[in-house]
Amino acid sequence: MTTTCLFLALGLAALAFLFLYLGKGYLAWVLPCGLGLLAWRHAGVSNPQAFLAAFWIFVAAAALLGFPPLRALLVTRPIMSIVAGILPKMGETERIALEAGTVWWDAELFSGSPDWKKMFSEKAPALSEKEKAFMAGPVQALCEMLDDWRVSQERDLPPEVWDFIKKNKFWGMIIPEAHGGLGFSALCHSAVITKLSSRSVTAAVTVMVPNSLGPGELILHYGTDEQKKYWLPRLASGQEIPCFALTEPEAGSDAASIKSGGVVCKGTWEGKEVVGIRLNWSKRYITLAPVATVLGLAFKLHDPEKLLGGAEELGITCALLPANMPGVEIGRRHDPLGIPFHNGPTTGKDVFVPLDFIVGGRAMAGQGWRMLMDCLAAGRSISLPSLSVGASQLAARAASAHAEVRRQFGLSIGKFEGIEAPLARIAGMTYLMNAARVVTAGAVDAGQKPSVVSAIVKAYCTEGMRSVLSDAMDVQAGNAICKGPHNTLGKSYCAVPIGITVEGANILTRSMIIFGQGAIRCHPFAKEEMAAVAAHDLGRFDAAFFGHVNFVFHNAARALVQGLAAPLCHCPESGMNRMSAAFAVCAEGAMATLGGQLKRRELLSGRLADALAWLYLGTATLKDFHDRGKPAKERIFLDWSIAHCLHQAESALAGLLDNLPSRPAAFALRQLVFPIGPVCPPPSDRLGAKLAQALLGDEEIRNRLTADIYIPGQMEGGLGLLDAAYRKTRASAELEKKAREAVKAGKPVSTVLTAEEAKLVEEADALRREAIQVDAFDKDVFRSLRA
């Protein structure tokens, strides 16, 4: 009898687990329990009183939990009170930031069960014919005009470059053709910045900022018809140079804490008394401010006399005003690590403007924070990720060429394992970062404003750029650290901290924004639960809470099954599915045990952000690989990228569980998500060696990996000379080997090489030696050099 009961219990537990795995939470306990009672009744149990007691307990529980009105009254009400006490408090600016943009693939990753058919069915991003012509024409021509060494010495772009940028409407890429702009896609905008940044960071920043968060985008989305008609054509043509002043000494990443203010009052404008705003501000780090003709300004608007008929404190507001107005001060410059794009402070004292200067007019007073968050949700996913990819592709091309032509101990240094390792990381990271760039831009073109994903690609692509450039500097060694016309990486390397700092410092983005925003926006029930508690809506909370409970048990079962089966599943999607379920379970555990405190436990939320970010980067790599027809030669790059992403995500979750304050919860979670321990090692040495050798020896792969950058001609020096030496060295490699073997055997080289072949070897060697030279300056010239 005992054995029968044991097998019966195990069978019912298995049945319950099956329903949990299938997401049938209600059936997971109702059906097995009901069947258990029936089995008990017919198994010869002789105690009818015990059976009846169990039966009525089961009926009561089923009625209580299965009948929502009764459940809400007796069970949900006390739960709602408890939840209300542990939920984080949220201010208005935080609420607006959380609600900005749209939810996209990040929600699928939070679900624990990503829908790959949905992802793969989305249209593959592609440039239009008009956009391709722009890339091949004006963008290529602009790159040919640029001499970054000259730019660094003159501390500015040459006048002819400024004129070319304006004439060809580089500042009008996001402005529709109907308003005089180019009307390009986000993908084209990204491609332009990627190519320019491989040539000159200064030029790339000068072009990208007016097409990012600033006057053009704000007027395009929120301006009045009159503002659009006046400003957009002038911005697109370059007649106006825009900047946008948000950052202040006391308000950096915490942009909502700005102190700059405007007071609604009466004043004189064009000879008449009107209701307007008297502005005072002090801003810094404002790109293009020193040369701007039109100033976008974010400030807090106050209406102490209630001239607008509403509240006294209206909130953050955005306005657009000419930079030459009395009281406006611009012109001074910051020096961001020697990268001479125009960046500087601006101040304003008692600057009176009419209400019409508010972006969107009087009706949009106090709506500036919402405008900024909505625009940033999309714009942050383009500019800096594109600059990061341009720098990384440049590093991949330069480092691989240098590793081939630079010789030590009689061998190209690329043949040493110590060089193969950084080359593999350069190749793998560049591959997955470019995939993230393309896929995310495609999502923006499809109508998404993916706020969480945009934060991910901004933070992790700029961090990826730091990693890639550090490895490339190590490979190039002395050639990388000597500044001059032949240096290929110095300016990009110096620019790394700039990309990491602006548009939300990466430390804050990782520790507070990605998971903090994602946990509420992307979770299928958390936002609804918070809204129900805030509205004191018991029925709404009941539906959300018990849906949430079902969701948790479903993912717990999924994580356990997939964790046990992990050694048997080798396709990339399986690994991503397992890690998505593990992430969902760990996120639930952290939120359940810490509640509102998780908001302040930044090391823990940062690890959850790492897991979510690497899951997205892996997803983007899979999507891009699929969109391009799964090229066989690139399979090793996909394998490296997925292995790297899964290892990083798994390590992040392991770190979370190691440090979760509730040790019993951490123990239980670990058994669910890592039932057989960690199973995602980093990419193997063997796989890394394959990547490195592909980058060094496969011209098709090398060109594909660096397809989006500008490659100068041989006569220019720098990358052009290095690339020419690489090709010549590769072409003469077999001939050189024959010559060495002949010399070793004591034979004249002429016995194995023709005169023409010998000349080719000599030319390759001469070009190789020239390519590894570094710049040196006379004393007087050196003293005159600029940063």
Distances (CA, A) of 26 to 30, 113, 212, 243, 429: 6, 19, 48, 57, 44
Rounded Cα–Cα distance for residues 735 and 727 (Å): 14
**Sequential DSSP letters for 746-760:** T--GGGTS-HHHHHH
640: three-class secondary structure by DSSP = helix
Handedness of CA 62, 66, 70, 76 (dihedral sign): positive
Query: Contact, 469 vs 491, CB < 8 A?
Result: no
Question: Collapsing DSSP states into helix, strand and coil, what is residue 632?
Answer: helix
Q: Residue 249 and residue 761: Cα distance in Å, rounded?
A: 60
Treating both helix axes as pointing N-terminal to C-terminal, what angle do 186-197 and 383-405 enclose, rounded to 10 degrees? 40
CB atoms under 10 Å from CB of 424, counted, come to 25
- Residue-level length of the chain: 787
Any residues with CB less than 8 A from the CB of 720 and at least 6 apart, and which? 711, 712, 713, 714
Residue 335 tokens read as: 């020096």
Instruction: Tell me the C-alpha distance between 533 and 525, whole Å.
Output: 12
Contacts of 556 (CB under 8 A, 6+ apart): 20, 585, 672
Half-sphere exposure at residue 608, Cβ-oriented, CA atoms within 13 angstroms: 33
Q: Which residues pair with 275 in a beta bridge?
A: 266
User: Could you give the angle at the alpha carbon of 660 between the alpha carbons of 657 and 664, nearest 5°?
Assistant: 85
756 counts as catalytic = no
Distance between terminal CA atoms of the chain?
Answer: 87
Decide: 671 and 589 in contact? Cβ < 8 Å.
no
- Per DSSP bridges, beta strands 294-302 and 242-245 are parallel
Burial letters for 654-683: b for 16+ Cβ neighbours within 10 Å, e otherwise?
A: bbbbeebeeeebbeebbebbbbeeebbeeb
Contacts of 667 (CB under 8 A, 6+ apart): none
Strand, coil or helix: what is 669? helix
Give the residue among 150, 116, 286, 115 at the shortest CA–CA distance from 214. Answer: 286
User: What is the spatial distance between Cα 148 and Cα 391, in angstroms, rounded to a whole number?
Assistant: 14
Query: CA-CA distance, 604 to 593, in Å (whole number)?
Result: 12
Which is nearest to 7 in space by CA: 29, 31, 39?
39
- The Cα 301–Cα 277 span in angstroms is 8
- Beta carbons of 145 and 161 less than 8 angstroms apart: yes
The pair of three-digit structure tokens given for residue 708, joined into one six-digit string: 């989006």
Q: Are 389 and 433 within 8 A, CB to CB? A: yes
Burial class (CB within 10 angstroms; exposed 0-12, middle 13-18, buried 19+) of 34: middle
Show the tokens assigned to 154: 């003159």
Residue 752 CB partners (closer than 8 Å, separation 6+): 738, 739, 741, 742
Out of 108, 503, 634, 650, which one is annotated catalytic? Answer: 503
Active-site positions? 503
